[in-house]
Amino acid sequence: MTTIALSPAASGARIVSLGHCLPATVLTSEEVAARLTVDAEWIVSRTGIRERRIADKGETVVDLATAAGRHALERLPSGTVDTVLVATSTPDSTMPSVAARVAGRLGLPEPAAFDVNAACAGFCYGLATADALIRAGSSRGALVIGADKASAFLDWADRDTAVLFADGAGAAVLQPAERPGIGPVLWGSAGERSELITIDADDGVLRQNGPAVYRWASGLGPMARRICDRAGISPDRLAAFIPHQANLRIINALATHLKLGDDTVVATDVVDTGNTMAATIPLALSRMSESGRLGADAEVLLFGFGAGLSYAGQVITL
């Protein structure tokens, strides 16, 4: 009996470059408030969001993802990318995949390319998948992108969604590494509560039960702590905490539960980017790295959560 040959495995993977893309158009909470006939401070006090970026009508998810991916590839010192994975729940079309179209635009030679739909937890799902592919020897380098154009699915008269969601993309390139830089993933779902956040196939409108989602997300602190436990790191040793940028009050509740160190940087990009769904974590990570707020070998907790209901997270070392 013939033994099937296996691809050479890698000890682990690390993020070696980052990139992001934000649309040029800024929509302030004052402008959103005027549409909803509410006070802008009502929006800010409940969400923390003062402004967000909105893609133009002709600007697509593929456009945003390609720009973020190109940004990351331009920073890539060396190495191969043979896998493209895009986390999105707002694709421009059902098929072909966003990933395949992005790979084509970037000129990558025949990479594996596929999308992941885990909503706002999607980037962490994608990161774990790419890490596993590299460890198994099935990929020699992966471009993982989180990209969404939520504005195309919004009812601008709906206070539960219009005040929150926005557009953008973030990207990371992973390559094999002798010293692993992607910690064990903790992921899961609560499908019995799937009706809390939906995009209906009939009318294509994003809807959510805001109070119920807020209560669920604000109570995920123990889950975030379990991610640290799996990685063998105490939360007070983290260089940074980058949760899904859903709402500033949720971010603060999670950070408080974790009892982070005095020097731990907490991402609050939601204030000026809004909730960009699968893009929030890679977008915040790229901006934080670009600003110089993360030193060498910085240990960072990523934690995504959203529709599904789904969650995922891991500690990474940059």
pLDDT, one tens digit per residue, over 102-150 is 999 999 999 999 999 999 999 999 999 999 999 999 999 999 999 999 9
Q: Give the three-state DSSP class for 1.
A: coil
Q: What is the mean pLDDT of the chain?
A: 96
Cα separation, 138 vs 103, whole angstroms? 18
| The two domains 12-177 and 186-317 share their CATH topology (first three levels equal) | yes
Would the pLDDT of 83 be above 90?
Answer: yes
- Flag whether pLDDT at 38 surpasses 90: yes
DSSP annotation of 196 reads G
Give the closest residue to 306 by CA, choosing from 116, 143, 29. 116
pLDDT at residue number 29: 98
Q: How far is the C-alpha of 29 from the C-alpha of 15, rounded, in Å?
A: 34
Residues 137, 54: Cα–Cα separation, whole Å: 39
The answer to whether 169 and 286 are in contact (CB under 8 A) is: no
Residue 1 pLDDT > 90: no
- The answer to whether the beta carbons of residues 161 and 216 sit under 8 Å apart is no
Task: Give me Rg for the CA atoms of the chain.
Answer: 19
How many residues in total does the chain contain? 318
Reading the block at residue 183, the tokens are 């910690």
State yes or no: pLDDT of 280 exceeds 90: yes
Torsion sign across C-alpha atoms 277, 87, 205, 216: negative
Q: Does the pTM of the predicted model rise above 0.95? A: yes
Distances (CA, A) of 106 to 91, 92, 140, 224: 18, 18, 17, 35
Residue found by looking up tokens 């401070």 in the block: 41
Query: Could you give the CA distance from residue 90 to residue 98 in angstroms, rounded to a whole number?
Result: 10
Identify the band that residue 5 occupies on the pLDDT scale cut at 50, 70 and 90. Answer: confident
Instruction: Give the count of alpha carbons within 13 A of 170, CB side only.
Output: 28
Residues designated catalytic: 120, 244, 275
Confidence of residue 261 (pLDDT cuts 50, 70, 90): very high
Helix (H) or strand (E) holding 42: helix 40-47
Residue 4's pLDDT band (cuts 50, 70, 90): confident
Q: What is the pLDDT of residue 111?
A: 97
Residues of the chain above pLDDT 70, percent: 100
The pLDDT, as a whole number, for residue 16 is 96
Tell me the pLDDT band of 78, cut-offs 50, 70 and 90.
Answer: confident
Contacts of 6 (CB under 8 A, 6+ apart): 137
Q: Are 285 and 298 within 8 A, CB to CB?
A: no
Q: In the chain, where are the structural domains located?
A: 12-177, 186-317
Whole-angstrom Cα distance, residue 261 to residue 236?
Answer: 4
Question: Per-residue pLDDT for 8 more than 90?
Answer: no
CATH 3.90.1150.10 assigned to 12-177: no
Q: Which pLDDT does position 2 carry in this prediction?
A: 82
State phi, psi for 274 to the nearest 5 degrees: 70, -170
The reported pLDDT for the residue numbered 89 is 98
**Which residues make Cβ contacts (< 8 Å) with residue 63, sequence separation at least 6?**
55
Single-letter code of the amino acid located at 236 = D
- What is 186-317's CATH number, 2.60.120.260, 3.40.47.10, 3.40.50.2300, 3.40.1390.10? 3.40.47.10
